[in-house]
Structure 1
Amino acid sequence: MEVTLNGYYTLILATLVLLLGRFLVKKIKFLEDFNIPEPVAGGLVAAAIVYALNLVWGYSFTFNQALQTATMLMFFASIGLSADFGRLKAGGSPLLIFTIVVSVFIILQDVVGVAMASVLGLDPLLGLVTGSIALTGGHGTAGAWGIVLEEQYGVVGATTLGIAAATYGLVAGGLVGGPVARRLINKMGLKPAPVNANQSDVEKLAGKQSLYSTKHNEDGDNRHEEMFEKPDNIRLITASSTIESLALFAGALAFADLMTIVAQGTAFELPTFVWALAGGVIIRNALTMVFNFDMFDRAIDVIGNASLSLFLAMALLSLKLWELTDLAGPVLIILLVQTAVMIAYAYFITFRIMGKDYDAAVLAAGHCGFGMGATPTAIANMQAVTDRYLPSPKAFLIVPMVGAFFVDIVNATVLQIFTKLPF
């Protein structure tokens, strides 16, 4: 029996999924320790219930697609509206170098995914799903590209597989980042910070913290630490700032809609959500660089995070878990290989190129976090290391900026190229 739900009922169920996810994350330590997002925790339970209803009584559900699409576009527009290229200057050459290191890994991740899928007899496009779509991209990117692959390329189960792979990546990224950094640090002979540090150690730590505070003052705020990696932080926004921000979102979405139509059938034909991201980037940097406009980032942050949560909740409600039955074995093999590649890359490439010092080891742990999972996993990995050894202001400046903003822009570009290749 087919049950169709309009936008009102879809929104009600999505908010119930989010409330369930919040409850589960608070009550189950594993979910909290590995930074499993609330929409994912609640959504997977909801997807299991939908699967049981289909299996036992034959019920299937159709949710309002327009609402899901709108929240997805809002989320990607928020990434673009937050991507201030002026911050590249604040991060200096290490930020640019780390962005390049991450970009090369995204390409490698997709090459491995496509190659493994072909070897195992799967659609090569499923290799992209188990590559940077789900792993570097996370749940939001997995849901967005899953819809594109299903509707435009006929890849059955792409969304379901993407959500499952992204969930695996969150756990795997949280498991491997700390050990990689600890092994690198031990090779350098650096011991854990003692509980009662001597005066020299205290002065060194104080100097590093002072540098960190100065950097924050130069930047004007520490917004880059508070964006998508800390969605539950309280943001002080006003009605007028919200209206201004919604106008910017509307501009980005209008640009996406227009460019989707104009570019159709040309070499510049892109998924609408990529144009939404691009529109946000153009509006953000045009307003700040040309007109010196003061963007209200806190409102953009709140709208973006709320949109992502609702989109994920609706995407998970729409999952068809029965589509994964035949893919489970081969997909697990691909994900295990991807994990090994991530460890090797962080250990031998990220660490060496970023300077082969303590900061580079912490950056390697962070790269494992968002290279397999998401920025919150990267932050948790780095905190686990710095709590045991020394602070790393450099790593905590670079990783949130690259993980929350620039990596999505690079990933969207790389994926667009890969989907056009003749597999």
Structure 2
Amino acid sequence: MEITLNGYYTLIFATLVLLLGRFMIKNIKVLEDFNIPEPVVGGLVAAMIVYALNIVWGYSFNFHQGLQTATMLMFFASIGLSADFGRLKAGGTPLLIFLAVVSVFIVLQDVVGVGMASALGLDPLLGLVTGSISLTGGHGTAGAWGVVLEEEYGVVGATTLGIAVATYGLVAGGIVGGPVARRLIKNLGLTPTPDNPNPSNVEKVAGAQSLYSTKHDEDGDHRQEEMFEKPDNIRLITASSMIETLALFAAALAFADIMTIVAEGTWFQLPTFVWALAAGVIIRNALTMVFNFDMFDRAIDVIGNASLSLFLAMALLSLKLWQLTDLAGPVLIILLVQTLVMILYAYFVTFKIMGKDYDAAVLSAGHCGFGMGATPTAIANMQAVTDRYLPSPKAFLIVPMVGAFFVDIINATVLQIFTKIPF
């Protein structure tokens, strides 16, 4: 029996899923320790209930797709509207180098995913799902690309698999980041002395502290640490600022809709959510650089976080878990290999290219966090390291900007190239 729910009931169930996730995280410590998002926790429980109803009584639920699509586009537009390229100056050369390191790893992650999938007899496009779509991209990107792969490429179960892989990545990224950094720091000869650091330790991070203080003052705000990695922070918003911000979102979504139609069948055909992200980037930087417009970032943050949570809740409600039964074994093998690749890359590439010093070790822990999971995982990894050893302002300046904003732009570009390759 199929039960179709309209937009009202879809929204009601989505908010109930979010409340359930919040309740579980507050009462189950391991979920909080690994920074598992509220919609993922509540959504997976809801998906299991829907699965049980299907197996026992044959019920199947269809939720309102238009609302889910709208929230997805709003989320990606918020990423674009937050990606102020002027902030690249705050990170300087180290940020650009780290962006290059991350970009190469995204390509490597997809090469490994596609190669392993082909070797195990799976659709190569499922390799992208077990690659940067879900791991570097996280749940939002997994849900968005899952829909594209299912509808345009006929990849069955791509959304369900993407959500599952992204959840694995959050846990794995939180597990491997700390040990990688501690091993590197041990090789540097630093000891855990947070209360009484020795002079040599202080000297090694003094340069980074100075850089951070200067650049942070020039930037004039701390919002790169507050967007998607701190969604519960209180932000003061007025009705007029919210209306202005909604107008920006409307412009981004309208641009995305028009470009999707115009580009259909051409060489620059892109998924609608990629156009939404690109539109946000164009609008943001055109207004700030050309017209010196003062963007109201707090409203963008709130709309972006709320849209992401609602989108994930609805995506998880729509999961069909029975589609994954035949993929469990091969996918687990691919994910274990991806985890090993992340560890080796962070240890031998990220650390060395970023300077082979204490800051580079902390950056390696952060890279494990969002290379496998998400920016909150990266922040948690770095906090665990700096709480035990020394502060690393340089790492806390670079990772949030790369992980929360710029990596999604790079990932979307890389994935668009990979999907055009005839496997």
TM, length-normalised to structure 1: 0.98
Counterpart-to-counterpart distance in 2, 1:198 and 1:159: 50
Extract unaligned runs of 5+ from structure 1.
none
Counterpart-to-counterpart distance in 1, 2:283 and 2:330: 42
Counterpart-to-counterpart distance in 1, 2:302 and 2:309: 11
In structure 1, the residue matched to 2:229 is: 229
Q: Secondary structure at the match of 2:264?
A: coil
In structure 1, the residue matched to 2:363 is: 363
Q: CA deviation at 1:216?
A: 2.3
Q: Identity over the aligned pairs, expressed in percent? A: 87
Contact 1:177 1:369 in 2 (8 A): yes
Within the alignment, does 1:141 sit opposite 2:141 as a pair?
Answer: yes
Say what the alpha-carbon RMSD is for the aligned residues: 1.5
In structure 1, the residue matched to 2:3 is: 3
Counterpart-to-counterpart distance in 2, 1:261 and 1:345: 40
Q: CA deviation at 1:218?
A: 1.3
Contact 1:68 1:314 in 2 (8 A): yes
Counterpart-to-counterpart distance in 2, 1:244 and 1:194: 45
Q: Secondary structure at the match of 1:139?
A: helix
Counterpart-to-counterpart distance in 2, 1:248 and 1:56: 47
Q: CA deviation at 1:90?
A: 1.5
Counterpart-to-counterpart distance in 2, 1:197 and 1:59: 61
Extract unaligned runs of 5+ from structure 2.
none
Q: How far does the alpha carbon of each residue in 1:241-289 deviate from its partner, in whole angstroms, 9 at most, with x for none?
A: 1101000000000000000000000001000000000000000000000
Q: How far does the alpha carbon of each residue in 1:108-155 deviate from its partner, in whole angstroms, 9 at most, with x for none?
A: 000000000000000000000000000000000000000000000000
* 1:191-270 to 2 correspondences below 5 Å: 191-197=191-197, 212-270=212-270
Q: CA deviation at 1:208?
A: 6.4
Q: CA deviation at 1:203?
A: 9.3
Q: Secondary structure at the match of 2:61?
A: strand
Contact 1:136 1:372 in 2 (8 A): yes
* 1:383-422 to 2 correspondences below 5 Å: 383-422=383-422
Counterpart-to-counterpart distance in 2, 1:112 and 1:213: 39
Q: Which runs of 4+ in 1 moved over 6 A?
A: 198-208
Counterpart-to-counterpart distance in 1, 2:209 and 2:353: 25
In structure 1, the residue matched to 2:130 is: 130
Q: Secondary structure at the match of 1:421?
A: coil
Q: CA deviation at 1:193?
A: 1.5
Q: Secondary structure at the match of 1:163?
A: helix
Counterpart-to-counterpart distance in 2, 1:200 and 1:49: 56
Q: CA deviation at 1:215?
A: 3.1
In structure 1, the residue matched to 2:108 is: 108
Q: Secondary structure at the match of 2:291?
A: coil
Q: CA deviation at 1:195?
A: 3.1
Instruction: Report the CA distance shift for 1:140/1:211 in structure 2 as closer, same or farther (over 3 A).
Output: same
Q: Which amino acid aligns with 1:226?
A: E
Q: Secondary structure at the match of 1:3?
A: strand
Within the alignment, does 1:93 sit opposite 2:66 as a pair?
Answer: no
Counterpart-to-counterpart distance in 2, 1:207 and 1:109: 33
Contact 2:205 2:392 in 1 (8 A): no
Counterpart-to-counterpart distance in 1, 2:253 and 2:311: 16
Contact 1:208 1:391 in 2 (8 A): no
Instruction: Report the CA distance shift for 1:341/1:71 in structure 2 as closer, same or farther (over 3 A).
Output: same
Contact 2:208 2:394 in 1 (8 A): no
Contact 1:95 1:398 in 2 (8 A): yes
Question: Mean alpha-carbon deviation: is it higher for 388-397 or for 199-208?
Answer: 199-208
Contact 1:177 1:381 in 2 (8 A): yes
